[in-house]
Structure 1
Amino acid sequence: MQYHYSRQEVTGVVVNQKVNISADYYATVSAMCDHLFKKGECHIDVGGTKQPFSIRKLRGRLAYIYQVRGKGPKHRQTADDKDDQVKGSQQRLWSSFKLFERFLNYADLYGVDRPVILCEGVTDNIYIKSAIQALAAKYPTLTNAVGDLKVKLFKYTKTSASVQQLGGGSGELLKLVNTYSSRTRKFKIAPKNPLILVADSDDGSKPLFKVIENRTGKKVDGSHAWYHLESNLYVVPIPKVGAADTPIEGLFEQILLDTTYEGKKFDRTNSEKDGTKFYGKKTFATKVVAANKGSINFGRFEPLLTAITEVIEDYKPKIAPSPVPALAPALV
């Protein structure tokens, strides 16, 4: 028999008056992350023996802790709290939430086993993947002959939005550039692959391009295909078509942009509300581009894919070689 105030624990979850994670469980996960950030790998103790533990499983444990604990302590809002919110105060965050955020930045942006391409949104990923696969013979660095990508396209999710503050859009790319140093400062190993941000060449990216110009001393005017900002962080602007502003959809031929689908026209702005007359970017990406990638002319995507390939090649010499362990003295 247990009293209502007794400690009750099931699968690492402590159930008292409220659900929580046991201190031992969290300490183990935290230690794994610490080793990962310092050495690039993590282990679990099994019967006194260290066994390799995959990043995928570690992600699962951190997601489990986040599911149980959330971002931070919840409390009833008082008049003082409302005043604080007006002054711009932020919610107090659990250390477990901060650890999860740091882990995701490591696993998805910094410590990845393939080059990462981070675009402005989900549909951009579909365009680029389709272009790479359609032009596979020209870009063996990016894919193999059967279309398996050798790069990773960053996937926007509810977790990336709520934990990493990465939900898509040019503003998120700017935020990532401005915070990348602080996001990665606790990682002690050199990243093995580049993180490549792909930004539309339009008004929405002007604040980002201003930061790039200030950091690199180079104009973002089409004279450079890509820019190295720091560590493994690069930016590739969408190549302009002529002198006009060019979002990624501008790389498609006009005949494709004029495609009628189920009697509707494509609205590139995603602002038309009349669903009986117009369809948006998601439908264009999935039903027009991905579904017909074998017959689409992706010629205007070639400068973009070439720039991405150049970034990958540029980063290779920057990878710090692994230290060679000293040889033990020979026994005489």
Structure 2
Amino acid sequence: MNLEQTEFSAKGKTFQRFLFYKNFYGAEKPVLITEGKTDIRYIRAALKKLHNKYPSLITLEEGGTAKYKLTFFKKSDITEQYLDLNKHGGSIFEKVWNLYHDNQIFRKKNFNNIYDYFQRIGSRYKSPVIMIFDNELDVEGSPIQQFINKFGSNAKIIFDTEYEENIHLKRQELKQAGKTRQQIDSEIKKFQKDFTEDKKTQLKTKLRKNECIHLKDNLYLMLIPLIKPEQSKSDIEALLLPEDIEKINQKFGKQFNPSEREFIEKDNYSKDKLSKQIMYSYQNISFENFKKLFENIEKIINHNIT
């Protein structure tokens, strides 16, 4: 689908703003955006099992029907066409973030002035939008590392006022020191590089400490929590107890294997199959390690994250 083939009509632009408001800026319930569809299944199952502990996130109606107080964002052809959120393949986190920065990150035609429109009319954002990443801060090429790199390279857009003020002060300082134009240009380039690296380092430091951070307005970033001090990375499957996965191994007569490259059909079963089985047998699964995840979500909802 060529998103930039033609300009959206006025009607198309209005519909685009509606989608952004409905799904993100003006969402009635907190929105969770995850790396994959299996993450949503685990979260749903865990909340059903732990519903008594998290009444702000879920209630069970008569008959056991779950009433989630969260919205689980689902990609579609419509959100791909109008918001550039690709339905298949690749992370959409950076693209959601781009919408909140009025397309200044990717600068694609058709996606300008969506966020700015609601600022101009004085519309107030509602519930938090939480982007949940696997905790892979030190994994080369991981979605969170890609996001941090993009964050750093766009620091002068994100922190525009701070950046412009510091650049101005730096130029004044260099001029007063009698530096030549060439020396000033060289020093400014170094300042720009340092500014970028500092913002990347600050973001990583905050995420290591808190596992979640406020990005802008109602947009937040959160990592899957680490369960043990010696852990260096974590995904949502890592929150499951080994003994629970072993029970499912026994049931299928195969070993769970999250890797697509090393997957052997006759010996292994996939993330998709595991997540469906967890949904089916959630009452027999311990979701003890999911509590930190839900506590962090509650912190964000209660505005206890900076």
| TM score, norm. by length of structure 2 | 0.66
Superposed CA deviations along residues 152-210 of structure 1, whole A, max 9, x for unmatched, are: 11112333334323237773212322332214221231111111111111131112245
Deviation of 1:151 (Å): 1.0
| 2:240 is the alignment partner of 1:252 | yes
Aligned to 1:240: 226
CA distance in 2, matches of 1:284, 1:296: 12
CA distance in 2, matches of 1:231, 1:271: 39
The structure whose RCO (Cα within 8 Å, separation 6+) is larger is: 2
The alignment yields a C-alpha RMSD, in angstroms, of: 2.9
Change (3 A) 1:235 1:129: same
- Of 149-158 and 269-278, the range deviating more from structure 2: 269-278
Deviation of 1:142 (Å): 0.4
| 2:215 is the alignment partner of 1:281 | no
CA distance in 2, matches of 1:221, 1:154: 23
CA distance in 2, matches of 1:120, 1:169: 10
Change (3 A) 1:168 1:106: farther
Aligned to 2:296: 307
Change (3 A) 1:157 1:273: farther
Q: For residue 241 of structure 2, what is the amino acid of its counterpart?
A: E
8 Å Cα contact 1:222/1:240 also seen in 2: no
Q: Which runs of 4 or more aligned residues in structure 1 lie more than 4 Å from their structure 2 counterparts after TM superposition?
A: none
8 Å Cα contact 1:122/1:156 also seen in 2: no
Q: 1:291 aligns with which of 270, 280, 297?
A: 280
Deviation of 1:313 (Å): 0.5
8 Å Cα contact 2:131/2:220 also seen in 1: yes
Deviation of 1:103 (Å): 2.2
CA distance in 1, matches of 2:225, 2:298: 14
Deviation of 1:132 (Å): 1.3
- Local SS of the residue matching 1:229: strand
CA distance in 2, matches of 1:309, 1:135: 14
Deviation of 1:276 (Å): 3.1
| 2:68 is the alignment partner of 1:134 | no
8 Å Cα contact 1:225/1:236 also seen in 2: yes
Q: For residue 133 of structure 2, what is the amino acid of its counterpart?
A: A
CA distance in 2, matches of 1:91, 1:253: 49
| 2:69 is the alignment partner of 1:150 | yes
CA distance in 2, matches of 1:162, 1:273: 34
CA distance in 1, matches of 2:51, 2:224: 20
Q: For residue 180 of structure 1, what is the amino acid of its counterpart?
A: Y
Matches for 1:1-332 after TM superposition, within 5 Å: 90-95=4-9, 96-146=11-61, 147-166=66-85, 167=87, 171-182=91-102, 183-187=114-118, 188=121, 189-202=123-136, 203=139, 204=142, 205-210=144-149, 211=151, 214=199, 217-218=202-203, 219-242=205-228, 243-258=231-246, 259-260=248-249, 262-272=252-262, 274-286=264-276, 288-314=277-303
Change (3 A) 1:178 1:214: farther
Count residues in correspondence: 230
Deviation of 1:247 (Å): 1.2
Deviation of 1:93 (Å): 3.3
User: Of the two, which has the highest radius of gyration?
Assistant: 1
- Local SS of the residue matching 1:228: strand
User: Percent sequence identity over matched residues?
Assistant: 26
CA distance in 2, matches of 1:197, 1:143: 19
CA distance in 2, matches of 1:99, 1:267: 45
8 Å Cα contact 2:244/2:286 also seen in 1: no
Unaligned segments of structure 2, at least 5 residues = 103-113, 153-197
Q: For residue 253 of structure 1, what is the amino acid of its counterpart?
A: L
Change (3 A) 1:107 1:271: farther
Higher normalized helix content (fraction of residues): 2
CA distance in 1, matches of 2:260, 2:69: 31
Change (3 A) 1:168 1:255: farther
- Local SS of the residue matching 1:201: coil
Deviation of 1:263 (Å): 3.1
Deviation of 1:275 (Å): 3.0
Unaligned segments of structure 1, at least 5 residues = 1-69, 73-89, 319-332
Change (3 A) 1:241 1:110: same
Change (3 A) 1:170 1:156: same
